[in-house]
Amino acid sequence: MSENRLNSYHIMWLFVMFDLPTVTKKDKHISAKFRTELEKDGFVMHQFSVYIRYCGSLESAHVHIKRVKSLTPSRGMVSILTITDKQYSNIINIWGEIKVKKEPQPMQLEFF
């Protein structure tokens, strides 16, 4: 049996969680660019400020961690979490109903 064989303990998942300032127009541009660059690197949005990426090995994960570090804006906070595929398999996702904000009904006018 080969030690390099992929298994759920060698396959990695990267979570990039961030809180970037979006006060000014420039801040918003930098934040949007960071998200775009994450997507170009193979990350997908899990939640609004949480992106995830599958990596076939720890070595591959290190390449992407280095890339995220190079993309990180100078302001704000970025956290990177690495977990094994085995750990990821225990994730519990709960999707509830998403309520859509209803537009107010116009008041009906009465004529006497």
Domain positions in the chain are 14-87
Residues 6+ apart with CB under 8 A from 75: 20, 21, 27, 30
Strand partners, 76: none
Architecture of the structural domain at 14-87: 2-Layer Sandwich (3.30)
CA distance linking residue 89 with residue 111, whole number of Å: 64
pLDDT in tens, 37-74: 999 999 999 999 999 999 999 999 999 999 999 999 99
Arithmetic mean of pLDDT, 80-108: 83
pTM for the model stands at: 0.78
Contact assessment for residue 53 and residue 42, using Cβ atoms and an 8 Å cutoff: yes
Cβ-contact 14, 46 below 8 angstroms: no
- For residue 6, is pLDDT > 80? no
pLDDT above 70 (res 10): yes
Residue 2 has pLDDT above 60, yes or no: no
